[in-house]
Amino acid sequence: MRFSQVFTSNVRTVIIGPPGSGKATISLRLQKDFALKYICCGDVLRNHVALKTDIGKQVSRFVQNGSLVSDSLVTKMMIAECQSYASDNLLIDGFPRTMIQAEDVQKQLPVSCVLCLDVPFEEIINRISGRYTHVPSGRTYNDNFNPPKCKGFDDVTGEPLIRRDDDDLITVRKRLDVYQLSTLPLLDYYGCYFIGILWTGPLKGRSSTAKNAIRWV
């Protein structure tokens, strides 16, 4: 059954989960079923860098210095991006990632719903080892459970798929460590005020559970 929903007011849904938990795949399904505007923090960052905006130049300096992009810069960028779609219902991926970001954004753009994908880290490591990405759209595929119709090519456009540089084992483990230290505390913060979904089952089940949560926002 495919759900549909017409919201009576602007809804801002944040999807949280470790890298490789299926956020992008589930987000694309939710975007289609609920007419949500999908905003991925990583995509917004890369777009600013590619366009060499003021924010993009600042991001590049952080990267060149081997530093994480500051909370204040990420928050400024994402608030501006969300405000540019003020009339839309939003699905936000990859932001906020820290308590500082969460507290700052809550003052200006209160979050309506939080979906958390809880997937064992070892499962994530095994899954990412077979992951391929269509960069322009963000669509992801996996040789083991979500293969493309034609190996190595995107189902929609037929364009080539790539392996991301940060999908190697060492980088993945570092990203999981950062997630555990910085992002997991957000669950306690949001748990007091918002809807949360913890789901450790297969991707299809996670997608259905997320849809059921959003239906009642």
Q: What is the mean pLDDT of the chain?
A: 82
107 exposure class (CB count in 10 Å sphere: 0-12, 13-18, 19+): exposed
- The 10s digit of each residue's pLDDT in 157-183 is 999 999 877 777 788 888 888 888 888
Tell me: the pLDDT tens digits for 119-137? 888 888 877 777 888 988 8
To the nearest whole percent, how much of the chain has pLDDT over 90? 35
All structural domains of the chain: 12-215 (3.40.50.300)
Q: Which of 15-19, 20-24, 35-39, 66-70 has maximum average pLDDT?
A: 35-39
Question: Is residue 144 pLDDT above 90, yes or no?
Answer: no
Structure tokens at 108: 């200006």
**Cα 79 from Cα 51, distance rounded (Å):** 18
Dist CA 111 CA 115 (whole Å):
11
Q: What is the pTM of this model?
A: 0.74
Q: CA torsion sign, 168 to 174 to 177 to 178?
A: negative
Dihedral angle, C-alpha 40, 46, 49, 51, nearest 10 °: -80
